[in-house]
Chain A
Amino acid sequence: MTVKVSMTVNGKAVSAEVEERTLLVNYIRENLRLTGTHVGCDTAQCGACTVHMDGRAIKSCNIVAMQAEGADILTIEGVAKPDGTLNTMQEAFREHHALQCGFCTPGMVLSAMDLVKNFPDPSEREIREQLDGNLCRCTGYHNIVKAIKAAAATMRG
């Protein structure tokens, strides 16, 4: 059986016939060909599949696409401006070299954007605690934490 799913992804209306059991991450990667959203653990622990749904960070490997019916989805491809200018969080990750292999980075950036929205002036401890849904197998946390702290300061102005 299939079902019609429609949503907005990175500002663009998209729609497809999918199997009911299609996970949101598979819809994003395989139907929309937006492969910046990664599948790491596939068990909702590592956070590499993090996207925003209606402004909240969620794990796209742990919901079916139909749960996002009518929702506004933001993936890493939609974070920078159309001309390629990085957003504040991406720029801070670049500046502080907050990545090693880069696999966890899309999820880290989207999770960090949600984190700073909820904690505009986060302490290092708060960042580490609130980032516990994202794992970096390179263990590059130190610079990730620095980048998030710097991005939060820039956003506060």
Chain B
Amino acid sequence: MYSFNYARVKSVAEAAAALAKGEDVKLLAGGQSLIATMKLRLSKPSDLIDLGTVAELRGIKVEGGTVTIGAMMRHAEVAASAEVKKAIPALAALAGSIADRQIRNMGTIGGSVAHNDPSADYPAALVGLGATVQTNKRKIAADDFFKGMFETALQAGEIITAVSFPAPKRAAYMKFKNPASRYAIVGVFVAETAAGVRVAVTGAAPGVFRVPEMEKALAAKFAPESVANIKIPDKGLNSDIHAKADYRAHLVTVMAKRAVEAALRG
């Protein structure tokens, strides 16, 4: 790991001030991707601003059918939250399927969303549920937030403070995971929401994406057979040692079908 300066902050305002001091200043949430990247010398921040003690980034609130999760909430906390389990069981289950237990005890929703790993689970939940990312400056719809591999709509000095999820009528997430890393080779989040049916895919492409054809078919009839014969083109999909593009395309259909089945089971 390259050397860096370390600072702890107590508030979002303090973090924003520290972030403004240089281009290579980075925020440290749980660090489960960032520290690993730094150990491989793929990332070289000049300063790390640790958000571990920022109380205002903690907490889970349920108000009027919306679940708001503070950016520094750990995956294990979201998975175990009685409120999340009650309002959006699919979201609690997704959080409980990220990586392994030790990583879930450190990793945070804000960190995962800001990192936007193409194989991460949370982006599928945000886009699948039509969530809103709240920052210290504005609110950003999930559809506008994720910009492809490791890229987001976040601007310099912008800090994620929370993510708000409208509770759907029903939803489920199914992933075909890499057995070693537990990352999604393909993960599909299906939700029947007040604003219509949403189908979001992670792991398959350089970034999370929706499948309008499946959404249309499920809006007409929310049943597994509605998506069973919808194939997505493999052009532009990820292709690596774990799965070729055509296999990933195939998995999108299979995982979508299973997600619909799971959503109907409730």
Contact = CB atoms under 8 A, between A and B. Distances in A.
Interface of A: 1, 3, 19-21, 23, 42-45, 47, 50, 53, 56-59, 62-64, 66-67, 69, 111, 114-115, 118, 130, 132-134
B100 A132 contact: yes
Contacts of B138: none
Contacts of A63: 31, 35, 106
Contacts of A43: 36, 39
B2 A21 contact: yes
B52 A67 contact: yes
Contacts of B32: 44, 62
Contacts of B39: 23, 42-43
Contact of A59 (B6, B38, B102): B102
Contact of A20 (B5, B103, B105, B181): B5
A42 B36 CA distance: 9
Given A62-B106, A67-B31, A67-B50, 20 more contacts: A20-B4, A21-B3, A21-B4, A23-B35, A42-B39, A44-B103, A47-B100, A47-B102, A53-B105, A56-B76, A62-B36, A64-B6, A64-B48, A66-B8, A111-B101, A115-B101, A132-B182, A133-B99, A133-B100, A133-B101
Nearest to A70: B53
Contacts of A23: 1, 35, 39
A50 B102 contact: yes
Interface string B15-59: 000000000000010011001101100000000101010000000
A10 B6 CA distance: 25
Interface residues of B, number: 29
Nearest to B52: A67
A111 B8 CA distance: 28
Contacts of A42: 39
Interface of B: 1-6, 8, 28, 31-32, 35-36, 38-39, 48, 50, 52, 76, 80, 99-103, 105-106, 180-182
A57 B105 contact: yes
A45 B39 CA distance: 14
Instruction: Give the one of A50, A64, A130 with max B CB within 10 A.
Output: A64
A114 B3 CA distance: 33
Contacts of A111: 101-102
A104 to B, nearest CB: 13
Contacts of A114: 101, 105
A114 B32 CA distance: 19
Instruction: Give the one of B32, B80, B106 with max A CB within 10 A.
Output: B106
A57 B2 contact: no
Contact of A64 (B2, B31, B180): B31
B104 to A, nearest CB: 9
Contacts of A67: 28, 31, 50, 52
13 contacts: A1-B5, A20-B5, A44-B102, A45-B181, A47-B100, A50-B102, A56-B76, A57-B101, A62-B31, A66-B50, A130-B101, A132-B100, A134-B100
Nearest to B47: A20
B1 A21 contact: yes
Contacts of A44: 32, 36, 102-103
Contacts of B36: 43-44, 62
A69 B8 contact: yes
Contacts of A133: 99-103
A56 B42 CA distance: 28
Nearest to B101: A133
Contacts of A50: 102
B54 to A, nearest CB: 13
